[in-house]
Amino acid sequence: MSRLTTLARQHKIPPHIPPGHCGCGVGRSHHLHGRVRGRRYAGRVPPSDHRPAALVVAVVGAGVSALAVLVLAVVALFSGHGTFSGGVGVALLVYGALLLVSTWGLWSLSLFGRGPVLALSLLNVAAAWTFTGSAPWMWAAVVVCAVTAVAAALPATSRALHLRRNGDVSEADEPRPTGEQGR
């Protein structure tokens, strides 16, 4: 008996239930949910055909922002302006790493990735906005961060992350009618 069959029996999953709908409450990281067309994908990251464009835009925007912050951190560390720029560089390294980890979480379809990406993108919009008067090229950063925040907040991203609306979502990620019983 295969490991998949054993786990399916433990969770009392009938063979006709598609992967990801066993109702066990474990979520996307469950090994039974890792089946796509009969093969298991590596790790927790599903194939890219399951990600909507809004999610991809949010991930790319957050990744670009994270890399820009990390470049600024390296520049601050090696600028040679003393202890203050070293402290700023370390703070930017931590901030950029946090944004990069959040970006990976969002790409992995983790609910814990969307909140930090959204919050840090809004923070980046505010920070970049303050520099637009003296550095007009910072408008590019404002636009990238604003588009990232909007893309992370779109309903398509919510559906991709399987956010529960009213506590219950059907297979099509739409709220179930009130008279329909759950499984």
Cβ atoms of 148 and 57 within 8 Å: the answer is yes
User: At a CB cut-off of 8 Å and minimum separation 6, what does 139 contact?
Assistant: 128, 132
Between residues 29 and 137, which one has the greater pLDDT? Answer: 137
Average pLDDT, the chain: 76
Q: Is the model more confident about 2 or about 127?
A: 127
Among 2-11, 18-27, 117-126, 173-182, the range of highest mean pLDDT:
117-126
Give the predicted TM-score (pTM) of the model.
Answer: 0.63
Residue 37, pLDDT score = 39
- Token duo for residue 149: 């925040």
| Averaged pLDDT, 143-151 | 96
What is the predicted pLDDT for the residue at 9?
63
Which of 3-12, 135-144, 149-158 has the weakest average pLDDT? 3-12
CA atoms of 183 and 167, how far apart (whole Å): 14
Report, in angstroms and rounded to the nearest whole number, the Rg of the chain calculated over CA atoms: 21
pLDDT average, residue stretch 144-148:
96
Domain ranges of the chain: 3-40, 51-160
Residue 110 dihedral angles phi and psi, to the nearest 5°: -90, 135
* Structural tokens at position 30: 């469950």
